[in-house]
Structure 1
Amino acid sequence: MTRLSGPRAPRLLRIVRQPFAAPLLVGGWQRAVPVLLGIGTAAVLGGLTIIWAARLTVPYPVYVSELGAKGAPTAAPFTIALLCIALGGFAIALASGHIRSSAPVLNRWTPALTLGFAGLCFVAASQITCTAYCPVPLVDPRSTVQDLVHTLSAVLGFGAACYAMLQVAFATTVPRVARFSMISSVAVAAITIVGGLLAIVHVATDVGSWLELVGTTVAIAWLAAYGLSLTRTPAR
């Protein structure tokens, strides 16, 4: 019988004796986490940059979704931006599976699952864009099923992002970003709700469009800050 020797012998024996105590890929996964966080942070910031660059080319007030409306000159950049944000969200979610909220209601699932769901919503919103001028579903008679699907995907995505912020706000393992998460969650919810109401009642739409863009910026900036904070939090 060949006798085990070298540095691998104790590890293999430990795995045989306690197969669920030492994951085989834990070392490789810990090395992959910084790469995922780097890709995720760069992707979401790149998506945010594209959104702002596209918005600044439009000389009149538009909501964020209108940048990707059918026939809009900024439709292609908008799709790329949403896909970048979704990709970044997926990468950060994969790298943050060890983070869990300590609040009784918020810890039923991890922030990683919430971010993954938000990413799926943004992928759907990028592929099913609104029609010309983005009429408000169920309010504007010009709205279609396509507008409803896009708006619902975007609202669910932002809602999931806000929920992930709340979960992280009560996560004791990331104190550096916990307070910022709470502030961001409240700010994004308040700003986007006000902007959405202004769009529904067709009042001060120029203000509402900028509010929505600011809310989007805060949400994406939080995701980037969360990803950067995890580089100092060891994965378990």
Structure 2
Amino acid sequence: MALATVGGTAAFLSAALIWVSRLWDPSVHYVSQLGATGMPTAPVFNFSLLLLGIAAVLVDRALLHRPLVYVAGWPIAGTLVVCGACFALASVVTCSPGCPVPFTPNALPQDLIHISAAVLGFVLAIVAMAQVSLLRRRPWMRAASLATLVAVGVTSLTGAMLALFRGDTVLGGNLEFTAATLAIAWFGVFGLQVARDEGTLTLPARAASSIPSSASTVAP
């Protein structure tokens, strides 16, 4: 229960720090640029990305206590631990100045590593949402996961298309930040839901252990 609670809280804190970085330098259009080498926002942003990775791993550890419940195709815990590792890697291997697209003239190997890790982590977050939306329990969590999945998919895809075809960079950046915020908020909500589920399991177990056995209540 504690692991999931800390993980969910860490995810919300991660989202808050990303927006602190964005407000610090509103001229930055895309998320990863906040953590690029030489950016004043880099320490805060990269810490927020590391915090997100830790959040995903903590929720993953909490899910291991209920291996047969949180499974959709394969254990959701497996998706989350790889997702968290990707975000942690992206927080350590940052973009070069300007965060150029990989394989362009100014790009460095670190740009390929960072962007690949960040994109894979984001994709795995979407996969986790899809898995939760397929679970048979917690109808509201299924509905929330599906709604977030659709919203994140639409906003991120639109933002990516704008960036790819040199469209409105301001709109594209806003959409990317929106998609990232929705995905991170989902992590927070899901973590707290897992913690609540753990609590509902623990209480009946404690109550049962406090009831004396029939053998002990029979007088000799």
Question: If the length of structure 1 is used for normalisation, what is the TM-score?
Answer: 0.79
Structure 2 unaligned regions, length at least 5: 203-220
Structure 2 distance, partners of 1:141, 1:188, is 31
2:196 alignment partner, SS class? coil
Mapped contact 2:28–2:34 kept (Cα < 8 A): no
Match of 1:136 in 2: 101
Identity %: 37
Name the amino acid aligned to 1:133: G
Name the amino acid aligned to 1:70: T
Match of 1:82 in 2: 49
Give the CA deviation at 1:143. Answer: 1.5
Deviating more after overlay: 159-168 vs 193-202:
193-202
Deviating more after overlay: 69-78 vs 36-45:
36-45
Mapped contact 1:68–1:75 kept (Cα < 8 A): yes
Residue 93 (structure 2) pairs with residue 123 (structure 1): no
Residue 9 (structure 2) pairs with residue 42 (structure 1): yes
Residue 176 (structure 2) pairs with residue 212 (structure 1): yes
Give the CA deviation at 1:125. Answer: 0.4
Give the CA deviation at 1:197. Answer: 2.1
Give the CA deviation at 1:142. Answer: 1.5
Which of the pair is proportionally richer in helix?
A: 2
- Greater relative contact order, per chain length (Cα 8 Å cut-off, separation 6+): 2
Structure 1 distance, partners of 2:37, 2:166, is 21
> What is the aligned residue count?
197
1:232 alignment partner, SS class? helix
Structure 1 unaligned regions, length at least 5: 1-33
Name the amino acid aligned to 2:17: I
Match of 2:141 in 1: 177
Structure 1 distance, partners of 2:52, 2:87, is 8
The equivalences for 1:1-236 within 5 A come to 34-97=1-64, 98=66, 99-101=69-71, 106-107=72-73, 109-138=74-103, 140-234=104-198
Mapped contact 1:48–1:217 kept (Cα < 8 A): yes
How big is each residue's C-alpha offset from its partner over 1:108-144, in whole Å with a ceiling of 9 and x where there is no partner? x211110111000001100111111111123x32122
Structure 1 distance, partners of 2:34, 2:11, is 17
Question: If the length of structure 2 is used for normalisation, what is the TM-score?
Answer: 0.84
CA-based RMSD: 1.6
Mapped contact 1:174–1:233 kept (Cα < 8 A): no
Structure 2 distance, partners of 1:146, 1:134, is 10
Mapped contact 2:30–2:176 kept (Cα < 8 A): yes
Mapped contact 2:160–2:172 kept (Cα < 8 A): yes
Moved over 4 A (4+): none
Give the CA deviation at 1:228. Answer: 1.7
Name the amino acid aligned to 2:99: C
Name the amino acid aligned to 1:100: Y
